[in-house]
């Protein structure tokens, strides 16, 4: 019997578009930015930020070196980075509210503190009086746990932190490698493709 739903954020709940971020950084003079940003996972110091291995300040200083512009402000860099986020349709927020009446709802996201504390907070405030934590019974992020999907350890953290059983849980992710990783620990899973809505896959 399924009791829990475990959601990825980007590409499942929140729409993302890598090319918007690439274009923004290229406009700042960073020609090989595309090699750092993947559709499913980031590389280099971008992944270090997602794993909480470097601070936002250290990340921004690395960006300044790549764009060869020491005068670039924190806001300039953050705004370019956050172009990755397109937004969360209100329909998905409403569906999360409905699903929470029947299931325990959790989030497992590879994300970073720059986006998490700005655009990814405000996107969950679209419905009146709501904030991010109102939609979930628990949240695990890569930058707080210092590990990232598809590493098995981050799924183990979810199990330990919330006391859930994988066989009673469906995991939703847009990256098939993350789905397969969850299966190794016994999770049921759904691969959320661009043409799918997570709430139609339960």
Buried b / exposed e over 140-166, threshold 16 CB at 10 Å, is: bbbbebebbbbbeebbebbbeebebeb
* Residue 183: both structure tokens together: 């299966």
Q: Is 173 a catalytic residue?
A: no
CA distance 170 to 26: 38
> Do residues 106 and 5 touch, judged by C-beta distance below 8 A?
yes
Describe the crossing of helices 74-81 and 18-27 by its angle, rounded to 10 degrees: 150
In the chain, count of helices (H) and strands (E)?
10, 7
Active centre residues (catalytic): 8
């Amino acid at each position: 019997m399924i009791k829990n739903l475990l959601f990825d954020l980007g590409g499942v709940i929140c729409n993302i578009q890598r090319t918007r971020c690439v274009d923004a950084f290229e406009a700042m003079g960073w020609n090989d930015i595309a090699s750092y940003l993947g559709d499913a996972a980031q590389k280099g110091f971008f992944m270090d930020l997602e794993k909480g291995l470097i601070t936002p300040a250290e990340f921004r200083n690395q960006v300044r070196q790549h764009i060869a512009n020491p005068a670039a402000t924190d806001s300039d860099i953050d705004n370019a980075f956050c172009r990755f986020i397109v937004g969360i349709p209100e329909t998905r927020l409403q569906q999360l509210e409905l699903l929470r009446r029947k299931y325990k709802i959790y989030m497992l996201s590879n994300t970073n503190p720059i986006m998490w504390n700005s655009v990814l907070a405000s996107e969950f405030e679209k419905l009146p009086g709501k904030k991010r934590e109102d939609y979930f019974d628990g949240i695990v992020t890569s930058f707080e746990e210092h590990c990232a999907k598809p590493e098995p350890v981050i799924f183990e953290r979810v199990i330990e932190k919330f006391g859930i059983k994988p066989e009673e849980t469906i995991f939703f992710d847009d990256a098939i490698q993350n789905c397969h990783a969850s299966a190794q620990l016994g999770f049921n899973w759904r691969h959320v493709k661009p043409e799918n809505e997570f709430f139609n896959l339960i």
